[in-house]
Amino acid sequence: MSNLHLVQFRTPQEFLQAVEAHDDAFLNWSVGSLLESTDQVQIKMRKLKGIPKILLAVYENDALILVMIKVAEDIACSLAAPRDTIVELSGTEMAAAVSLLVTHVASIVDPKIFDKIMAPDDLGDLFIKQWIAQMETRGLRFEPLPHPFEMKVSYATLATIPPPPPIPLQYELELPTHGDVEVLAQFFVDFARHGPREVSLEEARDKMRMHVDQGDIWVCKVDGEIAGFCVTGRSTAKTIAIRNVYVSPRHRRKGIADSMTRILTRYLLGATPLGSVGGPAASSPKSVKLEVVLNVAQDFVERIYKNCGFLLGTDDKDPVSGKKGWQALVFRGVRLLESESAAAA
């Protein structure tokens, strides 16, 4: 009989300490987002409301199975499973683990305002199904919403990236200045049109200004003008995400996205040489990571990232651990319908 139990953590620090040994690409969204939610610059720029109210983990004996967090009132819950989980649960046991989360979340938040979750596709579907069923026992009727957005979470390591090309890449990366913010903001507005939420130009300016200040955005210039940019984020002790890769329409199909991704990935992993005529302005990243994470939302760009060493193939596995190289991540949601009590009235 499986010994499943749930732990609720009081502070982000307690949660982070508990999951520290499981810091990997598949927990990057949860752990990295939580770390960012404690940063005062991020809180101010993103206008995060409230402190993390959901900091949960499910264990099978002493083995971590699932984590679930909510970093702010207006941010979706995040449900994840570490890639290095040492136990294999049956479908029935995994359903029981999710049931622990559903029951506990319903007891600490108002079910009527719970509406979104970010999770691996199978876990997200299971959570939503159980949430709707449990709410029905309380006289609350919910319906699932269509998947508004989904993507593949992949990663690259020193063992997966290709060697530097024999002839250095013609493009290079450099850190932008505040004088570049306006151009970057316009680019980001266009970039966001293909994501789950569009942004205003003013919001984009604030975001790009923050990235310039923090030194986590790099640009590629062609003939003196910015042709594209890369942004990193969700930095943990062992992982970091390449958050955005964007090339302006007039500079596409020139190999710029491929070059930027190759250079930045090698840089973040501490691989030398970078393989380009020039590299990021800083001599070394703030801390070398073991895994560089990439979330891919559009199928047509997968080829680019595969060529850069990201494990996106159907059967791709980490050559060192043998673990799966990617997982599908989806936004799932529910909508509250008429309650039985309201109908009776």
Range of the domain at 30: 4-152+329-344
| Residue 213 shares a structural domain with residue 271 | yes
Judge whether 318 lies within some domain: no
Query: Amino acid identity of 153?
Result: V
| Residue 67 shares a structural domain with residue 174 | no
Beta bridge partners of 276: 169
The residues near 100 (Cβ < 8 Å, ≥ 6 apart) are 4, 5, 6, 58
| Residue 101 shares a structural domain with residue 75 | yes
| Residue 55 shares a structural domain with residue 29 | yes
| Residue 122 shares a structural domain with residue 170 | no
* Number of domains forming the structure of the chain: 2
| Residue 130 shares a structural domain with residue 197 | no
Local confidence pLDDT in tens for the 345 residues of the chain:
468 999 999 999 999 999 999 999 999 999 999 998 876 656 565 555 555 579 999 999 999 999 999 987 777 899 999 887 756 778 888 999 999 999 999 998 888 878 889 999 889 999 999 999 999 999 999 999 887 678 899 999 999 999 988 888 889 899 999 999 999 999 999 999 877 788 999 999 999 999 999 999 999 999 999 999 999 999 999 999 999 999 999 999 999 999 999 999 999 999 988 888 666 654 456 679 999 999 998 788 899 999 999 999 989 999 998 888 999 998 888 999 865 444 443
Distance CA 337, CA 323 (A): 41
| Residue 195 shares a structural domain with residue 94 | no
C-alpha distances out from residue 227 to 199, 220, 224, 282, Å: 21, 6, 9, 20
Judge whether 198 lies within some domain: yes
CB 296 within 8 A of CB 329: no
DSSP for 167-184?
S-BS---B---GGGHHHH
**What are the two backbone dihedrals, phi and then psi, of residue 114, each rounded to the nearest 5 degrees?**
-80, 125
Nearest of 101, 140, 78, 126 to residue 331 by alpha carbon = 78
Judge whether 317 lies within some domain: no
| Residue 191 shares a structural domain with residue 263 | yes
The residues near 242 (Cβ < 8 Å, ≥ 6 apart) are 230, 231, 232, 261, 264, 265, 268, 292, 293, 294
| Residue 303 shares a structural domain with residue 275 | yes
Burial group, residue 303, by CB count within 10 angstroms (0-12, 13-18, 19+): exposed
